[in-house]
Structure 1
Amino acid sequence: MNNRELHIVRGSTVRDILNQFPTLALDVVRDTYLQHHRGCTENPDSYFLRFKDNPANRIIALPAACVDGEDKVAGIKWIASFPGNTRHNLQRASATLILNDLSTGYPMALLEASIISAVRTAASAVLATRYLLAQRSEISNLAFVGAGVISRTILEQFRINQWSIDKVLIHDTDADSAQAFSAYAQTLGFNCGVAIHLEQTVESDVVVLATNAAQPYIDERYIFKAGTVLLNISLRDLAPSQILGAFNVTDDTEHCLKANTSLHVTEQQVGHRDFIHCTLAQVLLGEHPIDPSRPMIFSPFGLGVLDVALGKKILDIARAQHTSVPVTDFFESTVRWS
């Protein structure tokens, strides 16, 4: 205990481990949702650092802990979202993850977390799609609204988990981004096209919303067919009229009813939350049936405990493979009295 190490896990190491264990993210996400449902996690509100002179930019702190089982761990993801980065060919989001030993509270690892954050988001989207489609893993038409890293990672997770997808459609207000995504999707073996107009995406079986939208723009003018799965990843694209007409599933209802998400705006408009039907964990456990007679919306606020749980698995693998970087002199001293 007197000579504790801090392990650093590079982004390249995170990527290598996820490539070695392609279903790791989906397995961890599913197990962590069930732990959260059982009350075996701590996941307080996220905290937003905003800037008066740049209101589009924010840095978010997501503290969380897994408090049951052999993978007990606490941690915090510190993730920046600067939309203007994309104008300079920089990724919008960057992130780090600190993990703490629950027996002492000492930090034990620092991980590059933008990949972890994107992959756990994508895994939750793929998991939700499978269960909202009644365990099917075939999609005739998959549409993406937003051609960024999150959309790309979701498509990768569909491929990794061996989904059959006939056609992929990309829509983005930035034509160059849409074309780049389309070209990338084709390298993965998908039949892919670009949708110039948003209206072209509404007939798809699954629609991924992953944009930088600050307020709803998909209103009653857009009519989705019964059984369409809408993955409401960016949380603010859908108007209350869309929410009220759908079967709504969340990762955590209390979290989703904050920060002016589409669900939060809808609650403020109608004065109740009865339009939210269940959590994804309840669907996984068969505690609540799905309703394919109308569009089905999955709105994940993005639980920090998913990052912490996946980060712990990656750390354990990195240490076992000796690919983490130990810093033996990070702590000046851990001894109370010499």
Structure 2
Amino acid sequence: MFTFQVMGGKSIRAIIETSRPEIFARVRETYLAHHRGATINPNSYFLRFPEKPDARIIALPAALRADGDADGGPAGDANGGPGDGTARTGTARTGVAGIKWIGSFPGNVAHNVPRASAVLLLNDLETGYPFACLEAAQISAARTAASAVLGAEQLHGSRTAGRLAVVGAGVISRNILEFFHALGWSFDRVAVHDRVEEYARKSAGHAGALGYRTSVHTTLAGAVDGADVVVLATTAATPYIVEPGALAPGQTVLNISLRDIGPELIAASHNVVDDVGHCLNAGTSPHLAVEKFGHRDFIDGTIAQLVLGELPLGPDKPRIFSPFGLGVLDLAVGHEVLRIGREDGRVQDVPDFFAEVERW
């Protein structure tokens, strides 16, 4: 009960590199668990800084109950034991609670430092005691990428496309490219655009190393026009894709950075989100559209509904997936990475982390 363990980012990255299909499946499972009520996922809390208005540190608390325990019954794993991350056989999963604490400082990019840094704490559902701390920038990027590729698969309808447009050549889009590759996606071309051409060339070079034909575009339209799938992974704080017709009917748009698309374009598109209440918050493009038009009729539903076949989307409009980012995804992916890390001997024990383990 009182074991506490730590995993560093390099070990986590190594596990992710060999486990992307498993992480993708775990993200898919977790969306379905969230849909059936087997999660607790309150609103994220944003710590903002008046002197740095574009920067924030975000707390994402959440809990993922054991499979089948959607009614709020006793916590713990599916065998009645504590949810301390102990690996189990079969398809049922242990429950877990926790919090991701992630800093987003866009100014870092100018110094060639990643925008995001994070830690993930995992808690036992029976006692509330934390049992692990994981470097979570890698976990956050992996769950975001897996979510994006799941959205692409569901909205596009296959794992084959003509052109993939990548807008924003950073850590997130790099992870998305790696998940596309790991899941067997084929593209005729990967077109990359970034305001900094050097970053775009590096991203295109990475896509080329994965086996894709690539091109670098100095304009947004040059990358996006004619693309079957568009990835928006920028640090934009306000919409810049605002011109009518900027997105084409039937085009799949992964609105990963959430604030790139103007409210008029959102309202004129099919819109799928991860959680309606969460996504209509914090100045996202769908949130701005609700504020502008006074309704949410343009929201078709959630990614889980799409997976379950409950959202038929026509080819008459662009298809936009806007995942706000659910804390339960970080828990699920972090828990899975911890399980593999324990098996591989990549986890560090912290002896005597808790000073008192008995009341008297």
Q: What TM-score does the superposition give when structure 2 sets the normalisation length? A: 0.91
Structure 1 residue corresponding to 2:55, chosen from 54, 57, 81: 57
Q: Calculate the aligned-residue CA RMSD, in Å.
A: 1.1
The 1-side partners of 2:263 and 2:110 are apart by: 31
User: Aligned partner of 2:16: which letter?
Assistant: L
4+ long deviations beyond 6 Å: none
What's 1:303 paired with?
326
User: Aligned partner of 1:25: which letter?
Assistant: I
Give 1:322 deviation, angstroms. Answer: 2.2
What's 1:178 paired with?
200
What's 1:287 paired with?
310
- Aligned pair count? 334
What's 1:195 paired with?
217
The 2-side partners of 1:285 and 1:227 are apart by: 20
Structure 1 residue corresponding to 2:142, chosen from 119, 125, 133: 119
Structure 1 residue corresponding to 2:113, chosen from 75, 83, 90: 90
What's 1:39 paired with?
37
Taking the TM superposition and a 5 Å limit, the aligned residue runs for 1:243-322 are 243-322=266-345
Structure 2 residue corresponding to 1:242, chosen from 228, 250, 265: 265
Percent of aligned pairs sharing the same letter: 51
Give 1:176 deviation, angstroms. Answer: 1.3
Secondary structure of the 1:23 match is: helix
The 2-side partners of 1:288 and 1:199 are apart by: 29
Contact 1:199 1:222 in 2 (8 A): no
Contact 2:156 2:229 in 1 (8 A): no
What's 2:82 paired with?
none
The 2-side partners of 1:286 and 1:194 are apart by: 36
Contact 1:18 1:24 in 2 (8 A): no
Q: Which moved more, 1:40-49 or 1:8-17?
A: 8-17
The 1-side partners of 2:98 and 2:334 are apart by: 9
Deviation string for 1:273-295 (max 9, x for gaps)?
Answer: 11101101001001121222211
What's 1:24 paired with?
22
What's 1:110 paired with?
133
Deviation string for 1:213-254 (max 9, x for gaps)?
Answer: 111111134432221000000111101111111110000010
What's 2:8 paired with?
10
What's 1:48 paired with?
46
- Whether 1:169 and 2:184 are equivalent positions in the alignment is no
Structure 1 residue corresponding to 2:160, chosen from 133, 138, 141: 138
Q: What TM-score does the superposition give when structure 1 sets the normalisation length? A: 0.97
Deviation string for 1:249-278 (max 9, x for gaps)?
Answer: 000010010001111110011111111011
User: Aligned partner of 1:147: which letter?
Assistant: A
Structure 1 residue corresponding to 2:233, chosen from 182, 198, 210: 210
Contact 1:138 1:165 in 2 (8 A): yes
Unaligned stretches of 5+ residues in structure 2: 68-92
The 1-side partners of 2:15 and 2:270 are apart by: 36
